[in-house]
């Protein structure tokens, strides 16, 4: 009779062990998913800075007429059509790490690209502690609100006067 009683407890302990392992796996998968999202956010910030720097280089490399301009397309950042030599301001057109697609929202001013943003409607995990140049990314509700322009404060400075300045959102 004692043997049966002991076997019942072993079975219960085994069930509890399996249950605890299941809970542990769920917690571990949540931690992994959060870590993966944080990595995608870091990647989005890196890529946003790459586009901002490319827009700055494009704008600063003045053509023959002496007037600085923004590009008409993202392809112009890969090979600047204004110069005879192959001038590259961006190595490649990056895919959005959050959506996984090579599509970006474009910020246009007078038909020219002044910035990009993600098209993801997801809520960002990172809400604060950005670099000074990314202060405009604080407390945003969507990754699509993370805007990378050159200069970094262009969108913030013109937010009140959007209609006057011709700032518009475009999609590619």
- pLDDT by residue for the chain (172 residues), tens only, comes to 455 555 678 888 889 999 999 999 999 999 999 999 999 999 999 999 999 999 999 998 877 677 888 999 999 999 888 777 878 899 999 999 999 998 999 999 989 999 999 999 999 999 998 988 888 899 999 999 999 999 888 765 444 444 333 444 554 4
Give the three-state DSSP class for 136. Answer: helix
* pLDDT reported for residue 170: 53
Q: Under a CB-based contact definition with an 8 Å cutoff, are residues 122 and 143 in contact?
A: yes
Cα R_g (the chain), whole angstroms: 25
Which distant-in-sequence residues (6+ apart) come within 8 Å of 153 by Cβ?
A: 135, 136
Token couple for 110: 């007078």
Percentage of the chain lying above the pLDDT 70 cut: 84
Q: Which residue has the tokens 């961006």?
A: 90
Question: CA-CA distance, 121 to 142, in Å (whole number)?
Answer: 5
User: Residues of 17-30 as b/e, b for ≥16 C-beta within 10 angstroms?
Assistant: eeeeeeeeeeeeee
* pLDDT reported for residue 162: 41
């Amino acid at each position: 009779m004692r043997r049966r009683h002991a076997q019942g407890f072993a079975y219960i302990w085994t069930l509890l062990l399996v249950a605890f392992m299941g809970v542990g796996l769920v917690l571990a998968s949540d931690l992994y998913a959060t870590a993966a999202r944080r990595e995608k956010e870091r990647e989005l910030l890196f890529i946003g800075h790459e586009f901002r720097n490319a827009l700055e280089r494009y704008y600063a490399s003045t053509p023959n007429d002496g007037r600085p301009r923004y590009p008409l397309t993202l392809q112009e950042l890969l090979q600047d059509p204004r110069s005879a030599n192959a001038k590259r301001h961006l190595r490649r057109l990056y895919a959005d790490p959050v959506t996984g697609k090579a599509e970006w929202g474009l910020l246009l001013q007078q038909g020219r690209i002044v910035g990009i943003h993600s098209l993801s409607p997801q809520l960002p995990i990172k809400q604060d502690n950005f670099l000074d140049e990314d202060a405009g990314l604080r407390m945003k509700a969507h990754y699509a609100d993370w805007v990378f322009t050159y200069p970094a404060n262009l969108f913030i400075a013109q937010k009140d006067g959007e209609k006057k300045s011709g700032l518009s959102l475009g999609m590619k």
